[in-house]
Copies of this chain bind each other. A is one copy, B any other.
Amino acid sequence: MSKVFDVAEVAQHNSSKSCWVILYGKVYDVTNFVADHPGGAKVILRLAGKDATEEFDPVHPAGTLEESLKPEALLGTVDLTTVPKKADESATAQPVQEHPPVEALLNLAEIEQLGTAKISKKAWGYYYSAADDKLSKRWNTEAYRSILLRPRVFIDCQECSLETKLLGNEVSMPLYVSPAAQARLAHPTGEAGIAEACRSFGTLQIISNSASMTPEQIVEHASPNQIFGWQLYVQDDRTRSEKMIARINQLKMIKFIVLTLDSPVMGKREDDMRGGNVLDELTEEHDKDFSKKAQDKQVFFGLDPTLTWTETLGWLSKHTSLPIIIKGVQTHEDAYIASLHRPQVQGVILSNHGGRSLDTAPPALHTLVEIRKYCPEVFDKIEVWVDGGVRRGTDVVKALCLGAKGVGIGRPPLFGLAAGGPDGVKRVLQILTDETKTCMRLLGVQRVDQLGIQHVNTRMLEQQIFDGPSGLEACRAAHLSKL
């Protein structure tokens, strides 16, 4: 570690045969690690021989280096005097654009607009993108808009409270922050910045398995009664997941695990691919030298595509006693099967992954209405949450009217973070809180448990809902036979 390299020497190790990188002023030999990089070999090779700190930092939580590399990979430090200075960008830069304060923003569209202006094209590509032609992303929003509300008059609405329980935990509102990766691309406070905003509002937050900070860092400053969930993508190297679960089990603020199933392979997010985000390098086809390991590049590096109800839930039960929520349910059949796994499974999140996985997958509202139609008993057995396309308080109310217990927002907190750090996220939560209360009062409703189907006209939506033969009985039979 005492060895000091100059930049020119490092620069010679710029291929898959000998691959060095500079990170935080230290020099690492990652030649043997390249093929195992969960983010793909190509990302590293592009930075081989260079200082990779700027690319590495915002997308890797603390401890990543230590976990990934053997001690001997650390070769020494770099002689900082040999690092060429960057041209002073500010000298020729455009005059800084004046942005409005987040308090002046009226709605989530304006927050997205400001957040977009403040972050890099690459970060924007990652947040904004959705699969293929973004049809599901559009459906997510349009489905809410197609529902009309039915306000009642002459009802005392002086009191109005959003308080509710999610999985038995008291929260100040039925809104929660969906798991979304890479918050540090938006703002240095990252996922902890979101947690800070949630603390102010008593809002539940689900921590992404691909967060850019460790769970410990994210919950560090939480208030005593703050509630978190943690998202699990099961790794094909199960021991990695088991280690993470063991850490999660130690964090008492984390009350449940969100097992995410809607992305066994990654959707084709073209805006992101154009921006060149690291995650999307995974789909790169031309990474010849290192392709032997992955049987098919479409499968996530490191993600286990072989999950099944029986095997996976059985494995999970050995490693945690936290309740499980299944995220990514998109048919009434799967919601029904999930309900058969109570009590281990205590909820489902109807989600098409923000339209990011399979284009023309149904919006969560469709699945919600489908469950009402085919197997409403699911609502009695487990909690049904939804996410995707929620941009207004009226959207929150509509989902609740149709039976959802929790309503998730994914992109808005990220764009809020981009727009103004933790204050931007607070602005998002404030706007939605105000809009939701206004909506409830105008409907003549004081508490969320008073909302019901009598408050919505879903006539137009109903005309789009699946009405083919239900696979319910087949699912049940298939499931039972495996037990």
- A344: B residues at CB distance < 8 A: none
Structural contact, B358 and A439, CB atoms closer than 8 A: yes
Chain B residues near A471 (CB, 8 Å)? 454
- Of the candidates B268, B306, B435, which one forms a contact with A268 in the assembled complex, judged by CB atoms under 8 Å apart? B435
Contact with B along A151-171 (1 / 0, CB 8 A): 111111110100000000000
Tell me if A459 and B453 are in contact (CB < 8 A).
no
Residues of B within 8 A of A453 (CB): 468
A474, closest chain B residue (CB): B454
The answer to the question of A331 belonging to the interface, with a C-beta cut-off of 8 Å to chain B, is yes
Tell me if B270 and A442 are in contact (CB < 8 A). no
B270 and A107 within 8 A (CB): yes
For chain A, the count of residues having a C-beta within 8 Å of the partner chain is 88
Among residues of B, the one whose C-beta sits closest to the C-beta of A109 is: B133
Q: Mark A294-315, 1 if CB is under 8 A from B, else 0.
A: 0110110000011111001000
Question: Closest CB of chain B to A386's CB: distance in Å?
Answer: 15
Contact with B along A435-467 (1 / 0, CB 8 A): 101110111100000000110111110011111
Alpha-carbon distance A308/B446, docked complex (angstroms): 14
Q: Which of A42-50, A174-182, A247-255, A257-265 contacts its partner? A: A257-265
CB distance from A363 to the nearest CB of B (A): 9
A274 within 8 Å of B by Cβ? yes
Q: Are B459's CB and A151's CB within 8 A?
A: no
Contact of A464 among B392, B441, B459 (CB under 8 A): B459
Q: How far is the CA of A139 from the CA of B457 in the complex (A)?
A: 14
For the complex, what is the distance from the CA of A154 to the CA of B394, rounded to whole Å?
A: 33
Query: Does A145 sit within 8 A of B, measured CB to CB?
Result: yes
Q: When each residue 411-443 of chain A gets 1 if its CB lies under 8 Å from chain B and 0 otherwise, what string results? A: 000000000000000000010001101110111
* Copies of this chain in its oligomeric complex: 4
Neighbour of A438 across the interface among B135, B262, B298, B394, CB < 8 A: B298
Residue pair A150, B438 in contact (C-beta under 8 Å): no
Q: Does A267 sit within 8 A of B, measured CB to CB?
A: yes
- Contact status A153-B330, CB under 8 Å: yes
> By the criterion CB–CB under 8 Å, are B307 and A156 in contact?
yes
CB contacts (< 8 Å) of A392 on chain B: these are: 132-133, 359
Which residues does chain B contribute within 8 Å of A298, judged by CB atoms?
160, 434, 437-438, 441
* Structural contact, A331 and B151, CB atoms closer than 8 A: yes
Q: When the two chains form their complex, are residues A261 and B150 in contact, meaning their CB atoms are under 8 A apart?
A: no
Determine if A119 is an interface residue (Cβ-Cβ < 8 Å): no
Inter-subunit contact A362/B306 (CB<8 Å): no
Contact B307 A151 (CB under 8 A): no
Q: Is A329 positioned at the interface, with any CB of B under 8 Å from its CB? A: yes
Contact between A459 and B454, CB atoms less than 8 A apart = no
Tell me whether B265 and A441 are in contact (CB under 8 A).
yes
Q: Given A148-B366, A392-B132, A468-B457, A438 and B306 touching (CB < 8 A)?
A: no
5 interchain residue pairs of minimum CB distance: A153-B261, A358-B442, A457-B466, A156-B306, A158-B305
Subset of 12 A-B contacts with CB under 8 Å: A132-B392, A132-B394, A147-B360, A154-B337, A155-B308, A157-B305, A158-B295, A158-B299, A264-B441, A266-B438, A298-B434, A460-B464
A residues sitting closer than 8 Å to B (CB atoms) are 103, 106-107, 132-133, 135, 139, 145, 147-158, 160, 261-268, 270, 273-274, 283, 285-286, 295-296, 298-299, 305-309, 312, 326, 328-331, 333-334, 337, 352, 357-362, 366, 392, 394, 430, 434-435, 437-439, 441-444, 453-454, 456-460, 463-469, 471
